[in-house]
Amino acid sequence: EHIDDTTIPMTDDNHDTDDPTFDGIDITRRDFTRLSAATAGALSLPGAASATTLTSGKMTKPYKYVVNHTADDYAVATLIRFADETGFAELDALGIDYRSTTASGKPHAHAKLETGEVGEVLDIAAAERLSHSPGSNPFWRLGLYPNGVFPDPRESTGFVDYEQMVDGLRYLESEHADRLKFYSIGESPGHYNYISGEEDPKDVYVAELTNDVNDEAAFEDKEKVMFSLSLHGLERAGAEAGSRFIEDVLTGEDEDIAALLDEVALIFVYPNPDGWVAKHPQYESGWQFLGPDGGAPVAPFYERGTDGVYDPNRQAPAVGWIDPAHYPSEPLGANLEDDEPGIDADVPDEIKERVPDQLAVVEHFREYRNLNYGADLHGAIFSSKFVLGLISQDQFDHGQLHELYEFCRNIDLTLEDALDTWTTLAEAQQRVTGELNPEVIGFETLPEEAFDYAGIWDTINYTVSGALLDWMSHPEELGGLGMTTLDFEMIYSHIVGANVYDPELVRMQVVGYDTAIKTIAEYVTRNTTATIETGGASTAYVTTDSLTRSSEDLSFVENPDKGFVEMDAGEGFAGTIGPGAPNDRATKRHDFTAVADADKIEASLSWTPPGQDLEFYLEDADGNRIAAARTADNPENIAAKVTAGDDYTFVVETYVNAVADYTIDATYYDYARTETTTSRDQQSATLGPGELTEFYRSVREEVDSLSVSVHAQPGTLNAAKLKNPNGTVKRRYDPTGSGDDDAEGAIGMEEWTVDDPAAGEWTVEVESLMDAKEGEAIVTFGTLASTENNPDPKEALGYEQRSYEVSPFAYFEDYAPFADAAIDPLTVADVKSGAASGYDNLVVIHDDAITDTGYVDALDSFVESGGNLVLTDSGARLLAPMKNEFAADIGGEHVAEESFYIAHLGERFPGHELLEDTRPIQQELWKIQPLGYSTGNQAPMTLLDADAFDAAGGTVAGKTDGKVAAGSLTPDRTTGTGIHVIGSLLPPASQANLHPFGLLDYTVAFLGHVMLTNALGYQQNRFVDGERVKSFGDVDSFSVDPSVTATRDDDGDLFTGGQTNRVDLTIAGNADVLVRDRFPDEWTVVEGDANTTYTDGDTRFVEFTNGLEDGTRTYFAEAPSSLSETRSYEFGPIEYSLDDGGNWIEIPGTTDRNNVLGADSSL
């Protein structure tokens, strides 16, 4: 095919800068230590020949390097200059597809040439020069733009190249100097360039788009929107869409946005040039030397990271927990003070070396005024949604939540319209998958929706530390930008799709992100407000100082360079306790005196038989409980500061009607000189198709946390497991969903954190999921060890601690201005004195004073007098001692305090009033990272025994780990006054982990906010430009409708004739129901749980005899055996009945297809 792109040149400049003259390459100058030990021995050094080595004076040196350092079948983007137009006829004779132009004054062709074809072109007499010319525009090096600077993806020759982007935006700036300003704000770490023989950092560019862009005063006053394009280098969709969007606005293709530029400035940043240029083999990078024999030549890849870090989206100076394996890019330096213009000199050296690009981005964007909105445009592997919107981990008040979710709702509406067909995507799937296993990456089905949005964990099934998105949203006074932000994930723009250019797929991605950018730009001109309609019902909340966290209380702040060091002294006790009763707990006490020099004691309570449940406390001489452990764990562990010579008491209690033998072991600690240390190391290995390999990391006894991340080479996909020294699997990742993840898609892999890891050798087991392709796996380990109670960030990361004082009660202070009735604080003493009786609602988020009978009696009186009590977090423990009609049957043995990766609703029952107007994707109750909690399963939840809750007359809104995480204890299903429980919502911040940049007060997710507001009987109203657009909940309305969810599991999706398929239907609900399943008429139900089969109309059903509320029903279906019955069959949907089979209700999303090859497998 020959495409004639002849046009009148827009410039006479020859932009072919790909013809430098270089001296000989001195490879001994290169420091190879950054290459992984696993591959270093197999590297083929620069200059090694491929199977065919070409050399010619017609080849520029960069072009010759690329041709000879890629596989022979790799198609190199080639710009061919001919002496005359006879060269075109020669290309035609060779059967080479190309595009041509004569507009530069000389004939040129652009083609993708494999090594053999390069040799043939070199033999053409008219061929004068061959140069490397990657990019979307074939003739950008000549200054020719026949189809625009950044052509439509269907007219492009490939992905936009980094050099082409720089050239193109400089050209657009020259043509539109009053509306576009394009400049560098810093440099990347820079890959080593084997052609120049030097480190080659690339500029990090910003493009500012607005009218009168050079009028500094006008620019400063404008509303600004920031877009980060392709922070991960292999996720090309952001840069592809953003570059074209800029051109469309400037050239009049997008008049709607052009009309906004008097009021709005759009700012685009290209933050990761290293990952972008890594596509070219002259740049040393982690993937470039892994050819078929472990060395050059290779097919190059775009890369996720930079030369300094694997993941640039983990290095932002975000508030909250910082993973010790990361390099937080805080340009203020070690003292967190702005000592000088630009990046301060006291930034730790390793951070300057690793993340200069991120430092530049943070420093630059802090300088803008009125920068209030932004988006980080990423890519994903695959998902059931074409685009996902990830909401940042931040502290949002009522108004901010509604602005953010209206922001998302607008994007949802516009994307659904813009991406109304998946036809082109279906055609593109096979082309972009290459050698990937289609079953693994979910290509047998298309995305079900254009867009969905929620918190990070809700959308991608993991969360992170140090994300750019989170830093962008965090408060300015804590170093963030204070923006309304959203992180977008575009499918097939990752390890799948990013290295295979498919014009139809890229077009859809560009349409998607172009629409998102436009919608955000238009949205910022609107005014979104929100109110809380109370119907006159007032609310009080019970305060306590015990939930306040201050940097002044950190061990290294209280006494610098000192911390708790274990002593050779302790306490030990043993005894027998029980039986107890729900309202009459059994108690044992053990007195002791703290030894000389003791400043802290840590104690463990263990017992037999292990099924019992004991509670463990430490009291001072005045009877104050200074430490408590009330989880379902055995052993229970407590820790508290003590004073040498003072008297203390261990208290053991149980409500259980049984006897247990217990032991207490305690160790003293002295407050002495301390040390905090971190370590980081990286390992890698090459995996063949389906191959499994292991990585090992020795962990010392003193290590407090272990961080592990596993990544696959672009274009490949792996599963992974983390095992402790005993071989127990502690974490796992499987993008197929066949493990514990069961996700609808794969965005990336979470980073694992293990607290107090067992000493010994830890193992990461990585399995390739490829059918026919080699790839590399990289595993990064990080450890933190501290002899202090709180790790010192100055010693661990090089940054001092930012001062803070935070409390979750700030949530209610922020809530109150939006409500039209009183939202007031009360103390425990106020409640005891009867002050709660003046309010309609009372909220308790803690269990302080749980042993104070006067306080508990006052809570009972409030409920018995018709008050509405809402218990969240550890406040749910108050159900045990309370004696009102709703709580009387719930004892201490029915309450468990557990910890999870994220506080969430594992199962939702949407018919419950607490969940009214929430969305199915929403499960996360609050965000962990800004409150200082790590991903080491630290998020606390207070859960209730499901049977006990049901027996007490409760209705369940959500469960986690089989226990009640949210629900209501009310007189009936239509009365909202009583007791409502939300097991986790407003925990105190955690100071146990590194958090150099401070902590937030609260991080309630929209789900949690709606649930609490519904529990109070309030209605939320959202307005845009004064017009109400949406409401959530109803004032004084309460109802609990039956809710049933179900999942299906079977033996597979391909059967031969006569094979039997086991089908398990797992039911979860808040009402007892009958269950039935649809099955194909050609199949036969042969056994299973008690059932009957019958035909209703034209449909076959298997109906189970016994009803259930929660549980599993199983049947076995035999496949048809006739060859004529070879085809695909649909099972489901599952149906349930509330009236003994009178009416049946379908459960959405419960169908499954099974394929039959009609040949009897028993023959």
State residue 76 phi and psi, 5-degree precision: -90, 130
Averaged pLDDT, 447-459 = 86
Q: Is the pLDDT confidence value at 146 over 90?
A: no
**CB contact at 8 A, 78 and 133:** yes
- 855 — phi, psi (to 5°)? -70, -45
Instruction: Kindly report the backbone phi and psi dihedral angles of residue 1059, in degrees, each rounded to the nearest multiple of 5, phi listed first.
Output: -70, 155
At 584, the pLDDT band (50, 70, 90 cuts) reads confident
pLDDT over 90 (residue 1045)? no
pLDDT surpasses 50 at 471: yes
Average pLDDT value for residue range 1115-1119 = 96
| Residues 70 and 300: beta-carbon distance below 8 Å | yes
Question: Residue 737 — φ and ψ, nearest 5°?
Answer: 80, 5
Q: Is the Cβ–Cβ distance between 111 and 91 less than 8 Å? A: yes
DSSP states of 21-80: ------GGGS-GGGS-HHHHTT---TT---SS----TTB-HHHHHHHHTB-TT--EEEEE
The pLDDT of residue 1162 is above 70? no
Question: Which pLDDT band, with edges at 50, 70 and 90, does 84 fall under?
Answer: very high
Residue 442 binned pLDDT confidence (cut-offs 50, 70, 90): very low
Question: CA-to-CA distance for 165 and 170, rounded, in angstroms?
Answer: 8
What's residue 549's pLDDT?
97
The tens digit of pLDDT for each residue in 250-289 reads 999 999 999 999 999 999 999 999 999 999 989 987 655 4
SS3 1074: strand
d(CA 129, CA 122): 9
Q: Taking residues 53-78, what's their average pLDDT?
A: 93
Whether the upstream peptide bond of residue 971 has omega within 30° of 0, thus cis, is: no
Q: Please write the tens of the pLDDT for every residue from 538-575.
A: 999 999 999 999 999 998 886 666 667 788 899 999 99
The predicted structure's pLDDT at residue 548: 97
Tens of pLDDT, residues 822-844: 999 999 999 999 999 999 999 99
Q: How far apart are CA 889 and CA 953, in angstroms?
A: 9
Supply the DSSP symbol for 904: B
State the Cα angle at 1146 between 1143 and 1152, rounded to 5°.
140
Residue 1159: per-residue pLDDT: 56
* Domains of the chain, earliest start first: 1-158 (no CATH), 562-672 (2.60.120.380), 676-787 (2.60.120.380), 805-1032 (3.40.50), 1044-1157 (2.60.40.740)
Q: Decide: 273 and 204 in contact? Cβ < 8 Å.
A: yes
Under a CB-based contact definition with an 8 Å cutoff, are residues 956 and 947 in contact?
no
| pLDDT at res. 740 | 44
Contact (Cβ atoms closer than 8 angstroms) between residue 839 and residue 861: no
pLDDT given at position 745 = 55
Please state at what angle helix 503-523 crosses helix 237-250, rounded to 10 degrees.
Answer: 60
Distance CA 979, CA 872 (A): 11
| Residues whose CB falls within 8 Å of the CB of residue 194, separated by 6 or more in sequence, listed in order | 25, 27, 30, 46, 65, 69, 282, 283, 284
Residues 6+ apart with CB under 8 A from 1098: none
CA distance 909 to 920: 10
Pick the closest to residue 713 from 681, 731, 686, 735 (CA basis).
686
Indicate the pairing of strand 1152-1157 with strand 1054-1056: parallel
Residue of 856, 852, 853, 850 whose CA lies nearest to 869: 856
Closest CA to 467 of 270, 329, 272, 307: 329
Confidence of residue 294 (pLDDT cuts 50, 70, 90): very low
Asked whether the predicted pLDDT for residue 748 surpasses 90, the reply is no
pLDDT of residue 550: 96
Cβ-contact 639, 616 below 8 angstroms: no
Backbone angles phi, psi at 859, to 5 degrees: -65, -45
Q: Give tens-digit pLDDT for 34-64.
A: 332 222 322 333 333 355 789 999 999 999 9
Q: Which of these ranges, 457-471, 710-724, 893-907, has the smallest mean pLDDT?
A: 710-724
pLDDT of 489 strictly over 70: yes
Most confident of 42-56, 651-665, 817-831, 1135-1149: 817-831
Average pLDDT, the chain: 88
Two structure tokens written together for 805: 């004082």
More confident residue, 43 or 896: 896
Query: What pLDDT was estimated at residue 774?
Result: 78
Closest to 78 (Cα-Cα) out of 22, 139, 125, 153: 139
User: 470 by DSSP, 3-state: which?
Assistant: helix
Cβ neighbours of residue 715 under 8 Å, at least 6 residues apart? 301, 434, 435, 436, 495, 496, 499, 773, 775
pLDDT digits (tens, 9 = 90+) for 398-407: 999 999 999 9
% of the chain surpassing 70 pLDDT: 89
Share of the chain above pLDDT 90, in %: 71
Using CA atoms, how far residue 405 sits from 529, 814, 908, 918, 1158, in Å, is: 11, 18, 21, 12, 51
pLDDT score recorded for residue 403: 94
With 70 as the cut, is the pLDDT of residue 590 above it?
A: yes
pLDDT band at residue 420, thresholds of 50, 70 and 90?
low
Provide the β-strand partners of residue 449.
385
Query: What DSSP character marks residue 354?
Result: H
**Predicted pLDDT at 746:** 61
Condensed to tens digits (0 to 9), the pLDDT of residues 222-246 reads 999 999 999 999 999 999 999 999 9
303-315 residue pLDDT tens: 989 999 989 999 9
- The rounded radius of gyration (Å) of the Cα atoms in the chain is 32
Winning range, highest mean pLDDT, from 197-211, 583-597, 1149-1163: 197-211
pLDDT at 556: 83
pLDDT at 492 (0 to 100): 76
pLDDT tens digits, residue range 758-794? 999 999 999 988 877 777 788 989 999 987 778 999 9
pLDDT for residue 464? 92
For 536, list phi and psi in degrees, rounded to 5. 85, 0
Query: Cα torsion for 694, 700, 705, 706, to the nearest 10°?
Result: -10
| Cα 411 → chain centroid | 20
- Give the contacts of 345 (CB within 8 A, at least 6 positions apart): 333, 339
